[in-house]
Structure 1
Amino acid sequence: MSTYKAPLTDIRFALYDVLGAEALFAQLGYTDATRDILDAVLDEAARFAETVLAPLNGVGDEVGSTFDKSTGEVTTPPGFKAAYGQFVEGGWTGLTASPDFGGQGLPHTIGVPLNELVNAANLAWGNFPLLSHGAVEALKQHGQDWQREVFLKPLVDGRWTGTMCLTEPHCGTDLGLLKTRAEPNEDGSYAITGTKIFITAGEHDLTDNIVHLVLARLPDAPAGAKGISLFVTPKFKVARDGSVGERNTLRCGSIEHKMGIKGSVTCVMNFDGAQGYLVGQPHKGLQAMFTMMNTARLGVGLQGIGLSERAYQNALAYARDRLQTRSLAGAKFPDKPADPIIVHPDVRRMLLTVKSLVEGSRLLALHAGTLIDVANHSADAAERERADTLVSFLTPISKACQTEWGIENTYHALQCFGGHGYIHEHGMEQLARDARITTLYEGTTGIQALDLMGRKTASTQGAGLKLFLAQVEAFIGANENNPAVAEFIAPLREKAAEWAGLTRSILQRAAQDPEEIGAASHDYLFYSGYVVLAYWWARSVAAADASSHGEAFKQAKLETARFYFARILPRTLAHAAAIESGAAPLMAMAAERFGD
C-alpha cells in the first residue's frame, strides 16, 4: 500500500518565504495567525492526516460504503466515523470559520494546506466534510438571519454536514432544464419534490443531520436558468428556533458504483414534498449556489494536488530502491548488481514533471487562498475588489489544471513502478483511479475552460488577466537585475506578452464568430495554467535564494525551475498553435460525417 508524509517543508516555504503570509495576515488583522500558531496547526494537521486518515485510504477503497435498500441508510467504511469524530473534536471543521458561528477565525489560507493534506491522505474520506464549507459560505452570504443562526453553528462545529444538490438525471451543466419543484406551504416553508443525482455525501452515518442545499423551481418560475431558486432542506426537519424534529420526506434511493473514491458516497436523492426554506431571493438560486460551487472548485483543485503529492512520494521512494539495468553513462552504483531506476532519464522526466507541477500548483492554490482573505478582510475597498476579480479569474485555472495534472501525475507515478504499479498491492492504481473523478465533478474541465474564456475573460474585457499580468510585470521589474532569476526573466516576459496577444486575437475573432470562444477555450485554459506556474517557479527561485534554507533546498528549487521552463513550459507552443488555428478545424465537419 502507498504511504504518505505531509510535505511541511515545502508548504512552509510557500506560505512564509514566497507568499509572505505572516505579514499579510497581520495587515489584514488576523491577530491570532502568528507563525507559532500556524506552525502548530500544520504540525497537528500533518499528524492527523498521516496517522488517522492515511491508514484508512486502502480500507475505504476495498470495503467502500454500503447501502441498505430497505431503509435508505448508508454505512461508511470501517474507521471513517471514528476519524470524523476526531476531526470534529480537534476543531478542524471550524478552523477558518467566523467566531460568530463558533469557528476559530483563522485565515482562509491556512485551510488550503489542511485540505491538501486531507485529500492526499484519504480523498474519499475528505469528501464528507468537503461541501460543508461551501454550504456555510452560501448560507452566510445569502441566507436569512434565522437560517444563519440555526444552520451555521452545527455546520461549523461539524455536528451536521452539508451537500449541494444540483444535477438531475436529465440535466447536469444546463441547470436551466431542471425539473425539481418547490410548492409554498402555509407556514412559509416549501415542499420540495424531485430527484437529484451524483450527490456527494447525500447520506451517511457520520453526523446526526445533513443539510441539503437544493435547486428547484417555484410555481411562477420563468423558464430556464432565470427561474431557479435555492432551498435549504435538512434530512431531519429544523424549526426556525433551531429545534430538530421528525425525519424529512427525503431519502437516498441508491448509491453509485464508481471507478474510484469508493469510500465516498455518491447518492441518488429523492425529495418527496420535503420541507425546505428559501435561501436568498426567488429565482436567484444560481447566484447563491455559485458561491458554494466556487468554494468547492478550489477545494477539488486541492484534491489534484494532494493525490499528486502522495503519488510522487511513493514513486520517488520506489525509484531510489528499484534496481534495473545500468545507467547509459556507466554504472552509478557499482557495488550493486544494477543501478536504481532514478538514474535513468525517462524516470527522471516523469518524477520531475510531477514535482514541478505539484510544487507550482501548491503556490497557485495558496495564492488563491490569500486572495480570498484579502477580498474578505482588507480595509481597502478597491483592494478587496481587485482580489475578488483575480481569484475569480484564477478559479477555473486552479480547478481544471490542478485536476488534469493530477491525472497526469498519478499516471506518471504509476508508470515509474512498471507492472508493479498496475497491481493492487502498491496502492498506485487506487490513486490513479481516484484522480479521474476530479476533472468531472464541480464542473468538468470543458466547463472550466468556457468559464475562463467566456465569463472570466470575454465578459470582463480581461479584467482578471490584466491584474495577473500586472503582478508578473511587477515581479519582472523588481528582479530585472537579480542574478538568481536572470535566466527566467526573458522567457517569462515573452510568455506574458504572448498570453495578452492570444487573448486579444481570440476576442477579435469572437466578435465575428461566437464559436471562436468555445474553440479556443481548452487550449487557452492550459496555456494560461502553464504561464501561471512559470511565474510561480520564477518567484520560488527568487524566494529560495533569499531564504535561510540550506543550499540543497535552494539548488533543488533552481533545478526544478529549469526543468519546468525547459520541458513543461514549451507545451504552450502547441496550445498557442491550436488557438491560432481558429474554429474552422473543429466546426467544419457535419455531424453525420463523424461516422455511423
Structure 2
Amino acid sequence: MSYQAPLRDMRFVLHELFDASAHCAQLGTGLDRELIDGVLEEAAAFTANEIAPLNRNSDEEGCRLENGQVSTPRGFRAAYRQYVDNGWASMTGPVEFGGQGFPQLVAFAFHEMLMSASLSFRVYSGLTEGAVLALHKHGSAELKAGYLAKMVSGQWTGTMCLTEPQAGTDLALLRSRAEPQADGSFQITGSKIFISGGEQDFSENIIHLVLARLPDAPVGVKGISLFLVPKFLTDADGAPGRRNALSCGAIEHKMGIKGASTCVMNFDGATAYLVGEANQGLACMFTMMNDARFQVGLQGLGIGEAAFQGALRYARERLQSRGLTGPVATDKVADPIIVHPDVRRMLLIQKTLVEGGRMLAAYTARQLDLEHGAESTEARKAASKRAALLIPIVKAFLTDLGQEVASHAVQVYGGHGYIREWGMEQLMRDSRITQLYEGTNGIQALDLIRRKLLADGGAELAALQEELRSVCNEALGQPALSGLARVVQARLDEWHGLAAEVIARCQHDAQEIGAASVDFLHYSAYVLLAGFWVQAALCAQRSLDAGSAEGDFYRAKLASADFFVKRLLPRASSHRLALLGGADCLMALRAEHFAF
C-alpha cells in the first residue's frame, strides 16, 4: 500500500493550534514557519518514496540470523544510509554533539511519518535517540566524548536492554551481573530478551545500555545500575576495534514488525562502563524509557494514519450496492461504499481518533520541549509535571487507537482486508506489539493512577482540566460552537469528580488502583481528546469567519468535532460505570475457580 504524509493536518496542528513558530522562537531554535514546512515536505517525500516501499517486503522477508550476524530485509541498509546522510538521524540530537536540536513539537511529525511508512524501519533509529538522551543526561564527560557524536549522527545505533526471561515488568527480579575491574570498567554477564535492534547489519557499532547488578547492590530495584556496553570496543582513535564479549543468541519470530530484529542478547563478561551513579540505573533508564513511551504512542498514531488512508482509498473506489436513499454514482454499476452509513461510521471513527491523537501528541511534545527549554525554572517544572501526567495516556491510548483503527480498516475492506496483498492485516499485526512493549498498557494505567494521580492528590490533573475549561469557555462565545462546548464542559466537571472518587477509593483499598486504572485512563483520554476537538473547532470557526479560502478543510474539522463528541465521547460513560463497579467483583473469584 502507498502512504502520503497528511501534511495539511500536520500544518493545522503545528501552526494553527500550537503556534510552532512562536514555540521555536521561545526555545531559540531559529526555526520559523517556512523552514518547518520545508522540512516536513522533505520528510514527506523521503518517507513516501524511500521508506514506505520497503514495508511489505520487510514483512514478507523478515530478518535472518546466521553465524551470530543478523541480516535485515532488502533495502533497509541503503535506506538507513540515506536516512543518516540526509541528516534525519541527527534531527533531535544535542547541538554540541553534532545534532540539529529540533524541538519535539516539530520532530514528532516526521517520526509519525516514519511509523506510518514502516514501523519496522523506525524501530532501529527510535531507540538510538532514547539512548542519546540517557547518555547525554547521565553519562560522564568521557563517555559523552567517546560515543555521543557518532550515535547522534546515526553512524552508531543504540539499544535498551532491560528485559530478562524471568524479569519483564518486575525489574526487581533482574539477575544480570556487573563485576568491577581494576581499570574502572566492569564486566557484564547475563542474558537479555526482546532487544530491538540488538544486532543488525547497517551501523558500524551498536551501543547497548544495559541494566545489571553490582556485587554489593541492594536487593530489588534499588540495586540496579546502568551500563554502556559497545558491540565493538573503541581503539585509541575512537574507531570500532575488537569485538566485545557479547552476541545475539537468537532472533524472535514475531506476529508483526518482522523487519525489526528482536534479539536475545548474551553478555559473557562483556566490557562495560557505568552510566550515572551506582544503583541509580532505573532512574537513568527512565530518561530513555519516557522518550520511548512517547515514541511508542507515535507508533500507534502512525499505524492509525496508514490504516485510515488505506481504508479511505478503498472506500472511495470499491463499488458495492446502491445507497440507501437511491443511486449516487448513476454512471456506475453500483455506488462506492463510502456512501453507506456504516462505512462512514468506521471512517469517521478512524479520522477523528487519528486527528485527535495527533493533537494530543503535539501537545505532549510541546511539554517535553518546555521541560528542558522553558526560560524559568518554574515553567520547566510545570512542563515536566504535565508531560509526566500525559505520557502514560499517550502511550496506552494512542496504541489502543492504532489497533482499533487498523481493525476498522480490515473491516472496511471486507474479505480483502484479511488478505495479505492489501496491507491492512499487516498493519493490524504490526500495531499489536505497541500495546505491549515499553510497559504494557495496563502498566501505563497503573502508572497514571499510582505515580501521577495519587502522588499529588490530583492537582496536576485538575490544572489540565482547568486549561481545557478555558478553551470551552472561549468556544461558548461562538454561537455555532456553544452546544459542543457545553457538552465537553460538563464532561470536564464529571472528570474532576470522578478523579476525586478514584483517589478516595484507592486510598481506602489498594486493589481499587488496579481495578479502576484502565477504565480511568480511557475515560481520561476520551475527555482529553474532546477538549482538543473543541480547540480545533474554535480555530476552524475563526478561519471560516475570516473568509478562509480553505473552507472545505475547516468545515470538515467542524463536522469531525461534532462526530467525536456525539459518537465517541459517549464511550467515556461506559468506562466510568465500569470503574465504579469496584474491585470486589474482580477479586471475589478464587484463582483455582477459573476452571476450563
Q: TM-score range by the shorter chain?
A: over 0.9
Q: Deviations over 1:371-420 (max 9, x none)?
A: 11111111121111111100110000000000011000001011101001
Inter-CA distance 387–239: structure 2 relative to 1 (3 Å threshold): farther
- Please point out which of 86, 91, 101 is paired with 2:97: 101
Q: Deviations over 1:63-111 (max 9, x none)?
A: 111111xx21101111000000000001111112221010112212111
Give the count of matched residue pairs.
592
1:8 is matched with: 7
1:586 is matched with: 586
Give distance in 2, aligned partners of 1:583 and 1:482: 43
2:37 is matched with: 39
Q: Secondary structure at the match of 1:479?
A: helix
Inter-CA distance 246–588: structure 2 relative to 1 (3 Å threshold): same
Q: Secondary structure at the match of 2:333?
A: coil
What's the C-alpha RMSD, in Å, of the aligned pairs?
Answer: 1.2
Give distance in 2, aligned partners of 1:110 and 1:191: 40
Structure 1 residue identity aligned to 2:60: E
2:449 is matched with: 453
Give distance in 2, aligned partners of 1:550 and 1:208: 48
Inter-CA distance 570–339: structure 2 relative to 1 (3 Å threshold): same
Kindly indicate whether the alpha-carbon contact (under 8 Å) linking 2:90 and 2:100 is maintained by their aligned counterparts in 1: yes
Give distance in 1, aligned partners of 2:107 and 2:551: 30
Superposition deviation, residue 240 in structure 1 = 8.4
Q: Is 1:378 aligned with 2:374?
A: yes
2:122 is matched with: 126
Structure 1 residue identity aligned to 2:488: L
Superposition deviation, residue 238 in structure 1 = 3.1
Q: Percent identity?
A: 50
2:52 is matched with: 54
Give distance in 2, aligned partners of 1:294 and 1:21: 22
Q: Is 1:486 aligned with 2:482?
A: yes
Q: Give runs of aligned pairs for residues 362-511 of structure 1, distance below 5 A.
A: 362-511=358-507
2:554 is matched with: 554
Range that drifts further, 499-508 or 352-361: 499-508
Kindly indicate whether the alpha-carbon contact (under 8 Å) linking 2:458 and 2:500 is maintained by their aligned counterparts in 1: no
Kindly indicate whether the alpha-carbon contact (under 8 Å) linking 1:49 and 1:118 is maintained by their aligned counterparts in 2: yes
Kindly indicate whether the alpha-carbon contact (under 8 Å) linking 1:260 and 1:437 is maintained by their aligned counterparts in 2: yes
- Please point out which of 140, 144, 167 is paired with 2:163: 167
Kindly indicate whether the alpha-carbon contact (under 8 Å) linking 2:63 and 2:261 is maintained by their aligned counterparts in 1: yes
Superposition deviation, residue 337 in structure 1 = 1.4
Range that drifts further, 551-560 or 485-494: 485-494
Kindly indicate whether the alpha-carbon contact (under 8 Å) linking 2:350 and 2:405 is maintained by their aligned counterparts in 1: yes
Kindly indicate whether the alpha-carbon contact (under 8 Å) linking 2:226 and 2:285 is maintained by their aligned counterparts in 1: yes
Q: Give runs of aligned pairs for residues 280-429 of structure 1, distance below 5 A.
A: 280-429=276-425
Give distance in 2, aligned partners of 1:483 and 1:46: 38
Inter-CA distance 484–385: structure 2 relative to 1 (3 Å threshold): farther
Unaligned runs of 5+ in 1: none
Q: Is 1:85 aligned with 2:84?
A: no
Inter-CA distance 572–316: structure 2 relative to 1 (3 Å threshold): same
Superposition deviation, residue 478 in structure 1 = 2.8
Using the size of structure 1 for normalisation, the TM-score is 0.98
Structure 2 residue identity aligned to 1:257: H
Q: Deviations over 1:132-165 (max 9, x none)?
A: 1110110111111111111110110010000000
Give distance in 2, aligned partners of 1:209 and 1:121: 25
1:563 is matched with: 563
Structure 2 residue identity aligned to 1:18: L
Q: Which has the higher contact order (CA 8 A, sep 6+)?
A: 1
1:19 is matched with: 18
Give distance in 2, aligned partners of 1:174 and 1:156: 31
Give distance in 1, aligned partners of 2:410 and 2:108: 26
Give distance in 1, aligned partners of 2:270 and 2:517: 40
Superposition deviation, residue 327 in structure 1 = 1.1
Kindly indicate whether the alpha-carbon contact (under 8 Å) linking 1:33 and 1:107 is maintained by their aligned counterparts in 2: no
Kindly indicate whether the alpha-carbon contact (under 8 Å) linking 2:70 and 2:200 is maintained by their aligned counterparts in 1: yes
Give distance in 1, aligned partners of 2:95 and 2:236: 21
Kindly indicate whether the alpha-carbon contact (under 8 Å) linking 1:484 and 1:542 is maintained by their aligned counterparts in 2: no
Give distance in 2, aligned partners of 1:477 and 1:320: 38
Structure 2 residue identity aligned to 1:196: K
Q: Secondary structure at the match of 2:178?
A: strand
Inter-CA distance 324–289: structure 2 relative to 1 (3 Å threshold): same
Q: Deviations over 1:192-228 (max 9, x none)?
A: 0000000000000010100000000000011111110
Give distance in 2, aligned partners of 1:191 and 1:86: 35
1:219 is matched with: 215
Inter-CA distance 549–289: structure 2 relative to 1 (3 Å threshold): farther
- Please point out which of 60, 64, 72 is paired with 1:66: 64
Give distance in 2, aligned partners of 1:475 and 1:415: 36
Kindly indicate whether the alpha-carbon contact (under 8 Å) linking 1:375 and 1:384 is maintained by their aligned counterparts in 2: yes
Unaligned runs of 5+ in 2: none
1:518 is matched with: 514
Superposition deviation, residue 531 in structure 1 = 0.8
Q: Secondary structure at the match of 2:228?
A: strand
Range that drifts further, 317-326 or 485-494: 485-494
